[in-house]
Structure 1
């Protein structure tokens, strides 16, 4: 049996019912200012931000980029022209009835 997908409406209703149950059991909800939950003792947690290391120098790769662009230019100029395929054409008689097929280039 396939489990039906939960919709946003179902999730919203479930969260509302859980909040209602919490409040009915004399639970209290505290209002917290935006951004406070990410602070530790009023400061940002600097151990996970990732700016602790010094800036690294980048390796210039201009010659690699130039080689790639040169290959792209060579690739577009060396492609052979596209050959047109022959098409079938119907030959009709004077009364509009088909007589035969011919190949036309």
Structure 2
């Protein structure tokens, strides 16, 4: 048995109809001021990785990173060694397409 999935347009229309029914039956939508938290008592949710210690100042390391990058780029990169090619057999043909001899290249 297959069920047809609702499209986004159908879902939007259904939600709009529910909102209109709510408003027509005497419901009211209250405006919430911008920036107001939805958390009860305005309490903030604690970050997961907070161990209660005050935040430490970070040590700037951009100069150290620039020096490391400069040294890395100044290094001579070893040249890539070409892999020795295996000799390949080449067949020499005459004017009529008949093989005459084999040559290794």
Would the TM-score normalized by the shorter structure come out above 0.5? no
The TM-score, its normalising length taken from structure 2, stands at 0.42
Larger C-alpha radius of gyration, 1 or 2?
Answer: 2
The TM-score, its normalising length taken from structure 1, stands at 0.42
**Comparing both structures, which one devotes a greater share of its residues to strand?**
1
